[in-house]
Amino acid sequence: MAQLLQHLINGLASGTIYALVALGYTMVYGVLKLINFAHGDVMMVGVYMGYATAFALGRQAQKSFLGVVVIFLVAMAGCALLGFLIERFAYRPLREKPRLTALITAIGISFALSYGFQLDIGFLPGAAPRAFPEVITPSEWLVIGDRDVVVWNWQVMSLLIAVGLMVGLQWLVFKTRFGRAMRAVSYDHRVAALMGIPTDRVIAVTFMIGSALAAGAGLLYAIKDTSVSPLMGLYVGLKAFVAAVIGGIGHVPGAVVGALLLGLVEEFVVGYAASTWRDAVAFGILIVVLLVKPGGLFGRVAAEKV
Amino acid sequence: MRRFVPMLLATLAMMVAGCEKKTQPASTDTDTSKQAAQGQGGTAPATPPAATPTSPPAAADTILLGVATALTGGQATFGISTRNGIELAIKEANEAGGVKGKKLTTRVYDTQGKPEEAAQAVTRLINQDKVVMILGDVASSNSLAMAEKAQAAGVPMITPSSTNPAVTEKGDFIFRVCFIDPFQGFVMAKFARENLKANNVAVLQDNKSAYSIGLTDVFTRKFTEMGGKITAVESYSQGDTDYRAQLTAIKKTQPEAIYVPGYYSEVGVIARQARELGLKVPLLGGDGWDSEKLYELGGSAIQGSYFSNHYSPDNPDPRIQKFVSDYKAAYGGVPDALAALAYDAAKVAVEALKNAPDTSGPALKAAIAQTKNFPGVAGAVTLDDKRNAVKPAVVLKVGDGKSDYVTTVTP
Amino acid sequence: MESSSAPSAMPGVPPVLRGILPVLLVLPVLALFAWSMEQSPFATYLLSIMGVNVILAVSLNIVNGMTGQFSIGHAGFMAVGAYVAGVLGLALKEIAISGLPVAMSDQIFLFVALLAGGVVAAACGFLVGLPSLRLRGDYLAIVTLGFGEIIRVVVQNTEAFGRSLGLSGIPQTAGLGMVGFWVFLVVLVARRIAGSSHGRSLWAIREDEVAAEAMGVDTTGYKVRSFVISAFFAGVAGGLFAHFVPIINPGSFTFVKSMEIVVMVVLGGLGSTTGAIVAAVFLTLLPEMLRSAFTSMGAEGSLAQKVDQIRMPVYGLLLVALMLLRPQGLFGMREIWEVLPRWLPRRRKGIQ
The verdict on residue A160 lying in a domain is yes
Assess whether pLDDT exceeds 70 at residue B206: yes
CB contact under 8 A, A271 and B248: yes
Q: Which long-range contacts (CB under 8 A, 24 or more apart) does C295-300 make?
A: C295/B29, C295/B30, C295/B31, C295/B107, C295/B129, C296/B30, C296/B31, C296/B32, C296/B33, C296/B34, C298/B30, C300/B29, C300/B105, C300/B106, C300/B107
Going residue by residue through chain A, which has 306 residues, state the pLDDT in tens, using 9 for 90 and above.
777 888 888 888 889 888 989 988 888 888 888 888 899 999 999 999 999 888 888 777 767 788 888 899 999 999 999 999 999 999 998 888 877 788 889 988 998 998 888 877 777 887 778 888 877 777 787 777 766 777 888 888 888 888 888 888 888 888 999 989 988 888 888 888 899 999 999 999 999 999 999 998 999 888 888 888 888 888 888 888 889 888 887 777 888 889 999 999 988 888 777 777 888 888 888 888 887 887 778 876 665 555
Partners of chain C (3+ Cβ pairs below 8 A): A, B
Give burial (CB, 10 Å; 0-12/13-18/19+) of A273.
exposed
Ranked by mean pLDDT, which of A211-215, B97-101, C346-350 comes out on top? A211-215
- Find chain B residues with C-beta within 8 A of C46's C-beta: 21, 120
Alpha-carbon span B191 to B178, nearest angstrom: 19
Q: What does the alpha-carbon distance between residue C33 and residue C19 come to, in Å, rounded to a whole number?
A: 23
Q: Which residues of B touch C165 (CB under 8 A)?
A: 140-141, 144, 164, 210, 213-214
Nearest to C243 by CA among C121, C119, C95, C92: C92
Which of A129, A138, A235 faces B265 most closely, judged by CB atoms?
A: A129
Contact at CB, A111 and C259, closer than 8 angstroms: yes
- With CB atoms and an 8 Å threshold, state whether C150 touches A284: yes
Alpha-carbon distance of C176 to C32, in angstroms, equals 10
Question: Do C238 and C85 meet the contact criterion of CB atoms below 8 Å apart?
Answer: yes
> What's the whole-number mean pLDDT along residues B49-54?
30
Arithmetic mean of pLDDT, C113-122: 96
What pLDDT score was predicted for residue A154? 80
pLDDT tens digits for range B64-94: 999 999 887 778 888 889 999 999 999 999 9
Output b/e per residue, C229-267; b: 16+ Cβ within 10 A.
bbbbbbbbbbbbbbbbbbbbbbbbbbbbbbbbbbbbbbb
pLDDT single digits (tens) B382-409: 888 888 988 888 899 998 888 888 888 8
Do the chains contact at C289 and B16, CB–CB below 8 Å? yes
| Total of domains in chain A | 1
Which residues in B lie closer than 8 A to residue A131 (C-beta atoms)?
268, 296-297, 299
C166 touches chain B (CB under 8 A): yes
Note the pLDDT tens digit of each residue in A35-84. Answer: 888 999 999 999 999 998 888 887 777 677 888 888 999 999 999 999 99
Domain spans, chain B: 56-179+315-391, 182-309
Question: How do beta strands B379-381 and B374-376 pair?
Answer: antiparallel
Instruction: Give chain B positions within 8 Å (CB) of A111.
Output: none
Question: Chain-centre distance of CA C56, in angstroms?
Answer: 2
In angstroms, what separates the C-alpha of A238 from chain C's closest C-alpha? Answer: 9
Q: Between B189 and A119, whose confidence is greater?
A: B189
**Phi-psi category of residue B336: left, alpha or beta, with phi > 0 → left and psi -120 to 50 → alpha:** beta
The CB-side HSE value for C312 (13 A sphere, CA atoms) comes to 21
Q: Predicted ipTM?
A: 0.83
- Taking the C-alpha atoms of residue A31 and residue B61, their distance in angstroms, rounded to an integer, is 65
* Sheet of strand B257-259: strand arrangement: B229-236, B200-206, B257-259, B283-285, B306-309, B393-398, B403-409
| Cross-chain CB nearest to B241 (options A10, A150, A227) | A227
pLDDT at B281 over 90: yes
Within chain C, how many helices (H) and strands (E) appear?
14, 2
CA distance C149 to chain A (A): 7
Contact B320, B64 (CB under 8 A): no
Residue whose C-alpha is closest to residue A221's, from A81, A92, A46: A46
CB B122 within 8 A of CB B146: yes
Asked whether the beta carbons of residue C42 and residue B123 sit closer than 8 angstroms, the reply is yes
Q: Do C305 and B21 touch (CB under 8 A)?
A: no
Residue A299 phi/psi, 5-degree rounding, is -70, 155
Residues of B in contact with A118 (CB under 8 A): 72, 76
Do the bridges between strand B62-69 and strand B133-135 make them parallel or antiparallel, or are there none, so unpaired? parallel
Instruction: Identify the residue with better confidence: C315 or B191.
Output: B191
Within a 13 Å sphere around the CA of A83, how many CA atoms are in the beta-carbon half?
32
Find chain C residues with C-beta within 8 A of A230's C-beta: none
Closest CA to B136 of B341, B393, B387, B291: B341
Q: Please report the residues numbered 221 through 280 in chain C whose beta carbons come closer than 8 angstroms to any beta carbon of chain B.
A: 241, 245-249, 251-252, 278
User: Distance between the two ends of chain A, CA-based, in angstroms?
Assistant: 55
Matching CATH number, B182-309, of 3.30.420.40, 3.40.50.2300, 1.10.3720.10, 3.90.1200.10: 3.40.50.2300
Q: Which residues of B touch A134 (CB under 8 A)?
A: 299
What's the Cα-to-Cα distance from B270 to each of A8, B282, B294, B334, rounded to whole Å? 21, 12, 11, 22
Contacts of B56 (CB under 8 A, 6+ apart): B132, B358, B359, B360
Contact A38, A110 (CB under 8 A): yes
pLDDT value of position B29: 31
In chain B, the residue whose alpha carbon lies closest to the alpha carbon of C303 is B108
CATH fold for the domain made of B56-179+315-391: Rossmann fold (3.40.50)
Partners of residue B398 on adjacent β-strands:
B403
Residue B174 at interface with chain A, using a CB cutoff of 8 Å: no
B5 — pLDDT class (breaks 50, 70, 90):
very low
Q: Is residue A128 part of a domain?
A: yes
- pLDDT confidence band for C245 (50 / 70 / 90): very high
Is the C-alpha dihedral spanning B149, B150, B154, B155 positive or negative?
positive
- Chains that contact B by 3+ CB pairs under 8 Å? A, C
Domain containing A141 equals: 13-233
Nearest to A103 among C70, C322, C324 (CB): C70
Residue A11, min C-alpha distance to chain B (Å): 10
CA distance B297 to chain A (A): 5
> What burial letters (b/e) apply to C100-120, b meaning 16+ CB within 10 Å?
eeeeebbbebbbebbbbbbbb
CA gap A289, A284 in Å, rounded: 9
Q: Is residue A290 part of a domain?
A: no
Lowest model confidence (mean pLDDT) among A132-136, B265-269, C144-148: A132-136
The answer to whether the Cβ–Cβ distance between A108 and C318 falls below 8 Å is: yes
**φ, ψ for residue C154 (rounded to 5)?**
-60, -45
Measure in Å the smallest separation between the Cα of C62 and chain B Cα atoms.
Answer: 22
Using an 8 Å CB-CB cutoff, list chain B residues near A225. 241-242, 269, 273
Torsion angle of C-alpha atoms A2, A3, A4, A6, degrees rounded to 10: 90
- The mean of the pLDDT values for chain C is 83
Question: Cα separation of C313 and B284, whole Å?
Answer: 37
Does residue B52 have a pLDDT over 70?
no
pLDDT band at residue B12 using 50, 70 and 90 as cut-offs:
very low
In chain B, % of residues over pLDDT 90:
36
Q: Is-contact A236 A37, C-beta < 8 A? A: no
- Quick check: B10 and B43 in contact, CB under 8 A? no
Assigned domain for A218 exists: yes
Chain C residues with CB-CB distance to B149 below 8 A: 246
The half-sphere exposure of B100 on its side-chain side, counting CA atoms within 13 A, is: 15
A99 contacts C138? CB cut-off 8 A = yes
CB contact under 8 A, B297 and A129: yes
Bridge partners, B395 (sequence order) = B308, B407
Is the fold of B56-179+315-391 the same as that of B182-309? yes
Q: What are the CA-CA distances from residue C206 to residues A35, A49, C341 (Å)?
A: 20, 42, 26
* Of the candidates C294, A263, A207, the residue with the CA atom closest to the CA atom of residue B242: A263
Average pLDDT of the residues in C138-151: 84
Taking contacts as CB-CB distances below 8 angstroms, the residues of chain B near C164 are 141, 207-210, 213
What is the pLDDT at residue B45? 34
Residue A138 to residue B72, Cβ atoms within 8 A: no
Contact across the interface for A276 and C156, Cβ inside 8 Å: yes
- Identify which has the larger pLDDT, C318 or A261: A261
Please tell me which of the candidates A101, A238, A283 has its beta carbon nearest to residue C323: A101
